[in-house]
């Protein structure tokens, strides 16, 4: 489901379409009629405060959670209700807020397992070399168990597993959460590299400036609904209006 060679992004259907989606955790309704698109090869930032529904959207589009209403499409193909592994095979990768790695395997074993599956055995050595060149800290820790890495290093490892075999769509869920600035810079360098290779990005983020610096469009969620959808250069002002409205409401 990656863009067709020689086709301009404008000629292609959106990499991801979320169409009037609602979702719930049992009796608790979490998303209400959410709609947005991620253009082919584009970058969309999904913003909002804690509990706004950002990670729920990430889980829904990647098949980890079902919808109660609406549909999800990848490059024009319906994927609503598909299990997560089928959506992954169709070209979506989800790098979650948590580890997203095998804690008991070494860094290199994590990478080899991912690269064999995505690239085949012959290309593993080349992919490892490129990964260690891009993220030297992973090369230094290649024999260390994944579960003993710092939080930032674990997220770099999660990102590195998809960097060498870019998917059609990457859902990056709160990758910068709790990381040092130098590690955040490395994470975003990786995201830029993946996007340059043609991967469309949905960046779920609380680091607003970072996300908007990379994205061309933005969605702001508020209490599980879309409060703003538009160009990234107008999103910051929209967030300030939403915050001001929330503050004014709490004072009444």
**pLDDT score of 232 more than 50:** yes
pLDDT for 117-160, tens place per residue? Answer: 888 999 999 999 999 988 899 999 999 999 999 887 888 898 88
pLDDT for 85-124, tens place per residue? Answer: 999 999 999 987 656 789 999 999 999 999 998 889 999 9
For residues 69-82, give the mean pLDDT. Answer: 96
Place 251 in a pLDDT band, splitting at 50, 70 and 90: low
Closest to 234 measured CA to CA, from 108, 45, 26, 41: 45
**pLDDT score of 168 more than 90:** yes
pLDDT for 8-40, tens place per residue? Answer: 556 789 999 999 999 999 999 999 999 999 999
pLDDT given at position 6:
46
Q: Break the chain into its structural domains and give their ranges.
A: 14-251
Quickly name the fold that domain 14-251 has.
Answer: Rossmann fold (3.40.50)
Between 71 and 51, the higher pLDDT residue? 71
In percent, how much of the chain has pLDDT > 90? 63
pLDDT given at position 178:
73
pLDDT given at position 97:
65
Place 3 in a pLDDT band, splitting at 50, 70 and 90: very low
Please state the separation of Cα 140 from the chain's center in Å. Answer: 26
Between 205 and 207, the higher pLDDT residue? 205
pLDDT for 169-198, tens place per residue? Answer: 999 988 887 778 887 888 888 889 889 989
Lowest mean pLDDT among 4-13, 49-58, 215-224: 4-13
pLDDT for 210-223, tens place per residue? Answer: 899 999 999 999 99
């Amino acid at each position: 489901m990656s863009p067709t060679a020689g086709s301009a992004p404008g000629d292609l259907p959106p990499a991801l379409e979320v169409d009037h989606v609602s979702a719930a955790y049992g009796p608790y309704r979490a998303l209400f009629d959410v709609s947005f698109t991620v253009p082919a090869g584009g970058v969309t930032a999904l913003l909002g405060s804690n509990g706004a529904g950002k990670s729920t959207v990430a889980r829904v589009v990647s098949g980890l959670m079902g919808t109660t209403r609406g549909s999800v499409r990848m490059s024009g193909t319906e994927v609503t209700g598909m299990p997560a592994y089928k959506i992954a095979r169709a070209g979506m990768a989800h790098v979650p807020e948590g580890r997203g790695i095998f804690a008991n395997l070494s860094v290199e074993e994590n990478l080899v397992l991912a690269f064999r599956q995505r690239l085949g055995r012959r290309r593993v050595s080349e992919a490892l070399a490129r990964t260690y060149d891009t993220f030297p800290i992973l090369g230094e820790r290649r024999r260390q168990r994944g579960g003993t890495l710092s939080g930032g290093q674990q997220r770099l490892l999660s990102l590195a597993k998809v960097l060498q075999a870019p998917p059609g769509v990457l859902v990056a869920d709160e990758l910068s959460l709790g990381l040092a600035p130098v590690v955040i810079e490395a994470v975003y360098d990786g995201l830029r590299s993946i996007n340059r290779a043609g991967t469309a990005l949905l960046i779920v983020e609380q680091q607003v400036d970072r996300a908007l610096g990379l994205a061309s469009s933005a969605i702001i969620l508020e209490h599980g609904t879309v409060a703003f959808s538009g160009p990234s250069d107008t999103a910051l002002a929209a967030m300030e209006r939403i915050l001001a409205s929330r503050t004014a409401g709490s004072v009444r």
